[in-house]
């Protein structure tokens, strides 16, 4: 079930930085860190993964020409 999903988020307080596990139902709400008492807003949307492949319409990077690819004179 998607309702049982847990969100892990790090406390932004540099003196604490405790990893909190909150239920997905807390999205868009404020929670309080049990370690230091800092109020933390849980993001409403899921974060986008960083390691996505390039977009379908994006042109691939062109390799630099090498000396071997030039025609012999």
CB 20 within 8 A of CB 30: no
List pLDDT tens digits, range 10-60: 999 999 999 999 999 999 999 999 999 999 999 887 666 677 666 666 666
Q: Which pair of tokens denotes residue 35?
A: 């370690």
Range of the domain at 19: 1-45
- Indicate whether 27 belongs to any domain: yes
Whole-number Å distance between alpha carbons of 22 and 31: 8
Q: What is the pLDDT of residue 44?
A: 85
Q: What is the pLDDT of residue 16?
A: 92
Predicted confidence band of residue 70 (pLDDT cuts 50, 70, 90) = low
- Indicate whether 28 belongs to any domain: yes
Q: What are the angstrom distances between the C-alpha of 73 and each of 2, 4, 40, 67, 70?
A: 66, 69, 68, 12, 9
Give this prediction's pTM: 0.53
Q: What is the pLDDT of residue 2?
A: 54
Q: How many CA atoms lie within 13 A of 34 on its CB side?
A: 5
Q: What is the pLDDT of residue 1?
A: 47
- Indicate whether 26 belongs to any domain: yes
């Amino acid at each position: 079930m998607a309702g049982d999903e847990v969100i892990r988020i790090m406390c932004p307080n540099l003196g604490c930085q405790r990893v909190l596990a909150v239920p997905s139902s807390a999205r868009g709400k404020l929670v309080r860190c049990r370690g230091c008492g800092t109020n933390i807003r849980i993001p409403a949307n899921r974060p986008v993964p960083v390691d996505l492949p390039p977009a379908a319409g994006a042109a691939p990077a062109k390799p630099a020409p090498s000396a071997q690819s030039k025609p012999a004179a």
